Amino acid sequence: MLKSVLVHVHDDSGFEGRLTAALDICRAHDAHLTCMHVTPYGAYAAFDPAGGMFTSSVLIEELRKKQDQLQKQVEERLAKEDVRWDWQAFDGDVAQTIVSASSLADLVVLGQAGPQKGDVTHPLPIVDAVVVHSGCPVLVVPAGCDRVDPTAPVVVGWNASEQAARAIRHALPTLKMASAVHLVSIGNKEEEFPQTAASEYLSRHGIKTDLHTLKPGVRDTDDVLHQFALDHGAGCILIGAYGHSRLRETLLGGVTRYLTMQSRVPLMLSR
């Protein structure tokens, strides 16, 4: 069951979209929404000549005022919604704070980071770190997305990996509510864990699936999967993160990397 949803609160261009998406999900699942705001004081710290670290009291006060203003706006908005919610505010590393809170959450909702590093108008680039360490699935809401339909079809990127299998298990509440579930394999050869095994597993949970095996041709796997989702009106793409070995734990690779940055369809990641 999906009963506890956590959304990252930050004054960026994607916040309204991910808040609305989180509300849509909570409404559909009768879930509780936790709005989490994290002030990263470390990012504003400076070093003195003696080697110490300090943060300007004036700057801290300004950050507090912005946080209070944002909290007031969010609380006024949520007071008009038919969803149970609470507000939590912390100081510290944003990704690590969300990871710690995710241990008692069923879903974390984040925004799609902007193409340019350091662009404060876009959501923070924390998807990588949160997905790697979180205790639950992460939903990445694309830029410009203002609604999420929990009953829309879900496209599952299936590559017979442990990560893909785990993603399916973690996303059962989402898959049960979807009007259709498409298991999509791209360019796969014979596997020890074929699509039929995943389909049979889901059928035991009362979830009917449509199986698709696509050839990438001259296009990349991520592009084929993304276009399939668009063509089938998917409300979500579900994939297991880190299907390949990675040199650095906090870097997403391959299909995962492309979709977290470019997808126009909400992306659910699990590992």
Q: Please enumerate, as own/partner, the contacts of 144-148 that have beta carbons within 8 Å and a separation of 24 or more.
A: 144/17, 144/264, 145/17, 145/21, 145/264, 145/266, 146/16, 146/17, 146/20, 147/20, 147/21, 147/24, 148/20, 148/21, 148/24, 148/25, 148/235, 148/236, 148/266
123, 179: one domain: no
Residue 60 domain-assigned?
yes
Q: 0.85 exceeded by the pTM?
A: yes
101, 189: one domain: no
165, 232: one domain: yes
What's the domain range around 167? Answer: 154-270
How many structural domains are present in the chain?
2
Distance (Å, rounded) from C-alpha 167 to C-alpha 156? 9
Distance (Å, rounded) from C-alpha 132 to C-alpha 257? 13
DSSP, res 119: -
Burial of 79 (0-12, 13-18, 19+ CB in 10 A): exposed
Distance (Å, rounded) from C-alpha 35 to C-alpha 71? 9
pLDDT the model gives residue 254:
64
Distance (Å, rounded) from C-alpha 94 to C-alpha 86? 18
9, 130: one domain: yes
169, 134: one domain: no
158, 242: one domain: yes
Tokens, residue 241: 């993160």
pLDDT tens digits for the chain (271 residues)?
Answer: 899 999 999 999 999 999 999 999 999 999 999 999 998 865 555 444 555 444 566 777 888 888 999 999 999 999 999 999 999 999 999 999 999 999 999 999 999 987 655 556 789 999 989 998 998 999 999 988 988 999 999 999 998 888 899 999 999 999 999 999 999 998 755 554 578 999 999 999 999 999 998 887 767 888 999 999 999 999 999 998 865 444 333 344 567 777 888 899 999 998 7
For residue 257, give the CATH number of its domain: 3.40.50.620
Residue 146 domain-assigned?
no
166, 122: one domain: no
35, 118: one domain: yes
Give the chain's length: 271
Residue 192 domain-assigned?
yes
pLDDT the model gives residue 120:
64
Residue 149 domain-assigned?
no
9, 137: one domain: yes
76, 115: one domain: yes
- Helix or strand (DSSP H, E) at 63: helix 57-78
55, 132: one domain: yes
Contact of 24 with 149, CB cutoff 8 Å: yes
